[in-house]
Chain A
Amino acid sequence: MGKKFSQARILQMLDDPDFQLLSAEYPDLYADEIEAMNDYVRSITPALPEWVKGAAPKSQQQLKFVGTKVKRIEDPARLTGNGVYASDVQLPGMLYGYIVRSPYAHATITAIDTSAAEALPGVRAVLTYKNAPQTKIGTNPDKFVVNQEAHCAGDEVAAVAAEDPHTAREAAELIKITWQELPGVAADIKAAMAAGAPALIAPNISNYSAGTPVKRGDFDSAYGSASLKYEQTYTTATLQHTPLERHCTVARWEGPDRLVMWASSQYMSSVRSSLASYFGMPRSHVRVLSENVGGGFGSKGGAQRDAYIAAVLAQMTQRPVKVYFDRPGNFRTSVHRYAEIMSLKAGLAGGNTINAYRLDAIGDGGANKGGTSSLPPVQRVYTAGNAFFQETNVITNRGQSGPMRCVGDPQGTWAQEIFIDELAEKAGMNPLDFRLKNIAEVDQDHENRKWNSCGLRDCATKVATAIGWSSKWHKPAGKINGRKAHGIGIALHACGHGSMSLPMTCVVRLDRDGSLDVNNGLTEIGGGQSTAAMIIAAETVGVKLTDASASWNDTGFTPDAGVTAGSRGTISSGSAVRNAALDLKAQLLQIATSGAKPMLNAKPEDCDTGDGYAFVKADPSQKVKLADVANSTGNPVIGRGTHVVPPNTSMSVFSAGATEVEVDLDTGEVTILSYVGANDVGQAINRLGVEQQMEGGIVMGMGMGLWEEMKYEAQHNFPVNWNWENYPIPTTLDTPKWANFQTIIVEPIDAIGPYGAKGVGEPPISPPPPALANAIYNAIGVRIYDAPLSRDKVLAAIKKMK
């Protein structure tokens, strides 16, 4: 904590999209870096005049659009098939790429023969490590666009461009490769840590490294003197995002040093800068469009291999090239949620108070040594004066690990919330009461300072009330009717995301007709980010919502606003939108009140805007259309803004979930009867969008809880289920009936976010898995510690019933 950085390093971090991406996804690991960047940008950002800030609504009741339900502006195009996704793009003369992937977890190519592929009619280029540009692409381990050595099954080793996708695939199958298999680890994470394990990446890189522990008080002595001790180990599986639109890029060279790309990406500006750097071109010579993105969930953070390979093949052939992963390809090289082994230990004092608390976690960083971070919920949800939390990151050959609707917090919450349920039972308390007694509402790792806003207790009590906890909770296996067992469970969560993040910028412009456009560089990925930006801008500038819009995602005319990840879109970029809108409003009021014949005879600070007018506060009949104000300048009026997080901020997002299940004691089938989720979002910007994010996250969490798991087999270090058939994600029929599926928005207005908002994209996914585990325990009286709660485990648990 408290690391210092040189100005040069800070500027470098601010300029590096890869670092932007990393710190947005792992805000806890890079808290010092984020603080340094914010401090620096704050020091050089001119302050808005105080009177402009004062002109903002004083209370939530004065808000016109923020907090209402607004249909998303992109929906009509998407729902009618008129929205253009990268995978829809068809260009004249376009070729199709297909990628050859390693069938081994760890292997190297000893011979490769592409002659048959090249001879196939319709084939225009074959790319292998032999003719690939010798420029590394900044992965870990640092690799070329295609490689001779594969570190996981599915690693890209060659690619073909052909006139049609079938020919491309046929040619890919004609490439003859002789492989030499190398020692690898894919089935057992701990095997990579064993003495004598082979070096999986390079001889000089250890297979594992322990993270810096978080310590409080003296765990050992508090644990030693505890009145009640308990420890247990929990595991979660490797999960896949499986976005509907698989990874896709279309690349077209419009001259030797002009590249245009249609990319299915969560961070178009990063695709731009990565490709510019790769080809040694100025960023302005690369234009990336991500108009519509068919889901990312963390898997499309920056420039992925589809982008590089499409651009290289397009350069080789001088034709536009589309690279669209097939579903197995998407499963193989997209990053995944890493598997985790978590051992928790607690000592209670006075019978029911957590006094000593310890987590030892092992995270599967995969072949790319992706970051692992399951600590935040364990640090934040419950009070523990004596604590020790540590995570060890392990390299394996199990694909690429990375963010997935959060990074590691759902894993941490899986372990913690089952553990807490067990502790409650040992303490002889109702699981809800035990939680409420032990929850923390301060930032324990920063001198117990208060959170900016904390709706944790509200989330917990509201879901409990809504589901009818006090009347429905019963003793384990206490409500069995024939062969059906009823169970109810609850889980709480705190997320490292949705709070503090990097400085961001935005441009908002009022056109001469009085319409407002947000040039927001944040990629809209289906979460409603554009609509939220539009709402914030319209509220702030004072135009009608129907006169506002948010521009489509195109690096050609939007500034870099960071990655759409880490639940940061609305809070970070939204704050920049708000500041840009305030800047615009200040300019409009200045213009309206100055000049030889001012349109309003008042000082700017005595005026305000609303409904498309500027007016004098004391006499609202003195008003002028904002369109006339803009027109008087002969140009659109442009506001720009920067978002900076204030120093010494403790910000966190909280959520809770409660669920009822029915377990069929004959077949082990689990039916989710009801689910209630609550999220502390600070302040909803678009209430409809918040509900949708919560519903989506909760359903994804149900998948993590009940079905989803990449199955690696030891025999061949290989996953066997890389398509949807055997990697089941929830369908509508697997979710509770609509009447029994409830979302509750908790709004403890936050001082920092725009209009008090915090993030919501990720936190809803975490409570469902452990809430389901606890509900199944409540139904049958037998614990399951390993996610998912699949049929085989439930049947085995039923056999253990007394």
Chain B
Amino acid sequence: MKKYEHTSPTSVQDAVKLLSAQNARACAGGTDLIGIMKEGLLPTDRLVDLKTIKGLDYIKEDGGELKIGALTKLSTIAASDVVNTKAPALAEAAARVASPQIRNMGTLGGNMAQKVRCWYFREFERADCYKRNGNYCYAILGLSDLHAIFDGAACFAVQPSDTSTALSALGATVVINGKDGERNVAIDDFYIGPDVDYLRETVLAQDDIITEVRIPASALGRPSVFIKAAPRKTIDFARASVAVLIDANPVGSIRLTLGAVAPTPHRAKDAEDFLKGKSLSADNIAQAATLAVKNAKPLATNGYKVDLVQGLVRQALTRLAS
């Protein structure tokens, strides 16, 4: 790793200021950032250690919403009674991130803002791909096992965050602090695709910090579920995941999000629309699963994700139906 300046702000305002310098990077748990710095994929002159800011790790119900501080550890969220009771999909997603050691270090904000895991971007040193500021995507003609079956445009790397899938289904709001103060961004707007900017995956500017995530009253206490498919039963990033929130069965409102199959958390809107007003019968579940992959455009070696997503959707809806 190259030399960099390590800074320890004690307030959000300090951190934002420190982040305005050239190649300054916000670091929470560091489980993603340090790796990517070692690989030389993110030039870093200054590291702004958010862990020295007090008061950003909490889980509380406030004004009908569930508010989670961005520095809350993933292991804390996974073990939280209130999250497990009020927003189970998020607890399940946090519990399925990586390994116990990483969940003990990794934070909610960091998990949401992590960099993509594309093996060309991360490991192929000759790659002059879009994410490396080049103009090529190696996955299109190469090995695309990890890559997007939806919404790929130029870059086909997928959003790897498990919590992002759950938060999308839960309709969360992301509270961001930046140089112009605080702003709230809906989760559907927080993640951006390569068609908007292929060098980043979220709306966060270099000097923006996620400070809080809010789960709306409409989602709290409602049935929700998160299921992840990965090569092994632990550690691995998702090859596909699904998170679903419903109000009741028969379904009045539903949010059904697919993870690790698109550059952003991917709402399966055709399936959502189909299920509105219907009961979660076996037939309806099967049809919804088919609709969930209606617009899939697999590459050479990620066609299996089309089958996998359907299976996951069936499993998730079947669990909610029972």
**Residue B236 is within 8 A (CB to CB) of chain A in the complex:** yes
B212 to nearest A CB, angstroms?
Answer: 30
In the bound complex, CA of A230 to CA of B303 (Å): 31
A30 to nearest B CB, angstroms?
Answer: 38
In the bound complex, CA of A233 to CA of B308 (Å): 27
**Residue A103 is within 8 A (CB to CB) of chain B in the complex:** yes
Contacts of A791 in B (CB 8 A): 229, 231, 239, 304, 308
B125 to nearest A CB, angstroms?
Answer: 5
**Residue B195 is within 8 A (CB to CB) of chain A in the complex:** no
| Segment of B42-50, B177-185, B309-317 engaged in the interface with chain A | B309-317
Within A518-566, the residues touching B (CB, 8 Å) are none
In the bound complex, CA of A169 to CA of B38 (Å): 10
The reply to whether B143 and A666 form a contact with Cβ atoms under 8 Å apart is no
Residue ID in chain A nearest B316 by CB atoms:
A666
A741 to nearest B CB, angstroms?
Answer: 15
A738 to nearest B CB, angstroms?
Answer: 15
Q: Which of B119, B138, B141, B310 has the most CB of A within 10 A?
A: B119
**Residue A728 is within 8 A (CB to CB) of chain B in the complex:** yes
| Segment of A136-144, A675-683, A710-718 engaged in the interface with chain B | A710-718
**Residue A328 is within 8 A (CB to CB) of chain B in the complex:** yes
B6 to nearest A CB, angstroms?
Answer: 14
A445 to nearest B CB, angstroms?
Answer: 40
**Residue A723 is within 8 A (CB to CB) of chain B in the complex:** yes
Contacts of B250 in A (CB 8 A): none
**Residue A131 is within 8 A (CB to CB) of chain B in the complex:** no
Residue ID in chain A nearest B229 by CB atoms:
A667
B252 to nearest A CB, angstroms?
Answer: 26
Residue ID in chain B nearest A722 by CB atoms:
B123
Residue ID in chain B nearest A166 by CB atoms:
B1
**Residue A725 is within 8 A (CB to CB) of chain B in the complex:** yes
The reply to whether B142 and A790 form a contact with Cβ atoms under 8 Å apart is no
| Segment of A391-399, A501-509, A767-775, A792-800 engaged in the interface with chain B | A792-800
Residue ID in chain B nearest A173 by CB atoms:
B40
B289 to nearest A CB, angstroms?
Answer: 9
Contacts of A61 in B (CB 8 A): none
In the bound complex, CA of A240 to CA of B308 (Å): 27
| Segment of A207-215, A381-389, A450-458, A729-737 engaged in the interface with chain B | A729-737
The reply to whether B233 and A731 form a contact with Cβ atoms under 8 Å apart is yes
The reply to whether B120 and A720 form a contact with Cβ atoms under 8 Å apart is yes
**Residue B307 is within 8 A (CB to CB) of chain A in the complex:** yes
The reply to whether A666 and B314 form a contact with Cβ atoms under 8 Å apart is yes
Contacts of B138 in A (CB 8 A): 715-716
**Residue A631 is within 8 A (CB to CB) of chain B in the complex:** no
Contacts of B304 in A (CB 8 A): 668, 791-792, 795-796
**Residue B301 is within 8 A (CB to CB) of chain A in the complex:** yes
Q: Which of A328, A667, A718, A795 has the most CB of B within 10 A?
A: A667
In the bound complex, CA of A707 to CA of B124 (Å): 21
Contacts of B303 in A (CB 8 A): 792
Q: Mark B290-318, 1 if CB is under 8 A from A, else 0.
A: 00000000000101100110111011000
**Residue A448 is within 8 A (CB to CB) of chain B in the complex:** no
The reply to whether B123 and A723 form a contact with Cβ atoms under 8 Å apart is yes
Beyond A716-B124, A791-B239, whether A799 also contacts B142 by CB under 8 A is no
In the bound complex, CA of A536 to CA of B218 (Å): 72
B171 to nearest A CB, angstroms?
Answer: 26
The reply to whether B308 and A718 form a contact with Cβ atoms under 8 Å apart is no
**Residue B191 is within 8 A (CB to CB) of chain A in the complex:** no
Residue ID in chain B nearest A331 by CB atoms:
B123
**Residue A695 is within 8 A (CB to CB) of chain B in the complex:** no
Q: From DSSP, what is the main secondary structure of chain B's interface residues?
A: loop
**Residue A277 is within 8 A (CB to CB) of chain B in the complex:** no
The reply to whether A725 and B237 form a contact with Cβ atoms under 8 Å apart is yes
The reply to whether B233 and A734 form a contact with Cβ atoms under 8 Å apart is yes
**Residue A669 is within 8 A (CB to CB) of chain B in the complex:** yes
Within A421-464, the residues touching B (CB, 8 Å) are none
Query: Interface size (B, Cβ < 8 Å)?
Result: 37
The reply to whether A733 and B231 form a contact with Cβ atoms under 8 Å apart is no
Contacts of B237 in A (CB 8 A): 725
Contacts of B311 in A (CB 8 A): 664-668, 795
Beyond A733-B232, A791-B304, whether A711 also contacts B145 by CB under 8 A is yes
In the bound complex, CA of A720 to CA of B118 (Å): 10
In the bound complex, CA of A250 to CA of B145 (Å): 39
Contacts of A114 in B (CB 8 A): none
Contacts of A667 in B (CB 8 A): 229, 308, 311-312, 315
A722 to nearest B CB, angstroms?
Answer: 6
In the bound complex, CA of A715 to CA of B239 (Å): 23
The reply to whether B232 and A730 form a contact with Cβ atoms under 8 Å apart is yes
In the bound complex, CA of A723 to CA of B123 (Å): 8
Q: Which of B124, B239, B303, B315 has the most CB of A within 10 A?
A: B124
In the bound complex, CA of A722 to CA of B235 (Å): 17
In the bound complex, CA of A721 to CA of B236 (Å): 13
Query: Interface size (A, Cβ < 8 Å)?
Result: 40
Contacts of A328 in B (CB 8 A): 123
For B307, give its contact among A483, A726, A734, A799 (CB under 8 Å).
Answer: A799
**Residue A188 is within 8 A (CB to CB) of chain B in the complex:** no
The reply to whether B232 and A707 form a contact with Cβ atoms under 8 Å apart is yes
**Residue A170 is within 8 A (CB to CB) of chain B in the complex:** yes
Within B92-140, the residues touching A (CB, 8 Å) are 117, 119-120, 122-126, 138
In the bound complex, CA of A671 to CA of B233 (Å): 9
**Residue B146 is within 8 A (CB to CB) of chain A in the complex:** yes
The reply to whether B141 and A715 form a contact with Cβ atoms under 8 Å apart is yes
**Residue B85 is within 8 A (CB to CB) of chain A in the complex:** no
A603 to nearest B CB, angstroms?
Answer: 65
A754 to nearest B CB, angstroms?
Answer: 39
The reply to whether B142 and A716 form a contact with Cβ atoms under 8 Å apart is yes
Within A646-697, the residues touching B (CB, 8 Å) are 664-669, 671
In the bound complex, CA of A558 to CA of B21 (Å): 59
B247 to nearest A CB, angstroms?
Answer: 24
Q: Mark B1-41, 1 if CB is under 8 A from A, else 0.
A: 11100000000000000000000000000000000000010
In the bound complex, CA of A707 to CA of B230 (Å): 11
Beyond A725-B117, A791-B304, A791-B308, whether A713 also contacts B236 by CB under 8 A is no
In the bound complex, CA of A171 to CA of B40 (Å): 13
Beyond A666-B312, A795-B304, A796-B304, whether A728 also contacts B124 by CB under 8 A is no
A166 to nearest B CB, angstroms?
Answer: 5
The reply to whether B231 and A666 form a contact with Cβ atoms under 8 Å apart is no
B155 to nearest A CB, angstroms?
Answer: 16
Contacts of B123 in A (CB 8 A): 328, 720-723, 726
A768 to nearest B CB, angstroms?
Answer: 15
For A734, give its contact among B125, B141, B232 (CB under 8 Å).
Answer: B232
Q: Which of A104, A669, A713, A798 has the most CB of B within 10 A?
A: A713
For A711, give its contact among B143, B234, B236, B307 (CB under 8 Å).
Answer: B143
Beyond A166-B1, A667-B308, A718-B124, whether A790 also contacts B231 by CB under 8 A is yes
In the bound complex, CA of A664 to CA of B307 (Å): 12
In the bound complex, CA of A723 to CA of B233 (Å): 18
Q: Which of A103, A707, A723, A726 has the most CB of B within 10 A?
A: A726
Contacts of A799 in B (CB 8 A): 307
Residue ID in chain A nearest B311 by CB atoms:
A666
Within B209-253, the residues touching A (CB, 8 Å) are 229, 231-237, 239
8 more A-B residue pairs beyond the given contacts A707-B232, A791-B239, A792-B145, with a C-beta to C-beta distance below 8 A: A669-B229, A671-B233, A720-B143, A726-B119, A730-B232, A731-B233, A795-B307, A798-B307
Interface positions of B (Cβ within 8 A of A): 1-3, 40, 117, 119-120, 122-126, 138, 141-143, 145-146, 229, 231-237, 239, 301, 303-304, 307-308, 310-312, 314-315
Ordered by A's residue number, 6 sampled pairs between the chains whose C-beta atoms are within 8 Å are A166-B3, A666-B311, A713-B142, A725-B236, A731-B233, A795-B307
Interface positions of A (Cβ within 8 A of B): 103-104, 166, 169-170, 173, 328, 483, 664-669, 671, 707, 711, 713-716, 718, 720-723, 725-726, 728, 730-731, 733-734, 790-792, 795-796, 798-799
What 7 pairs across the A-B complex have the smallest Cβ distances? A666-B311, A792-B304, A733-B233, A720-B119, A713-B142, A667-B311, A795-B307
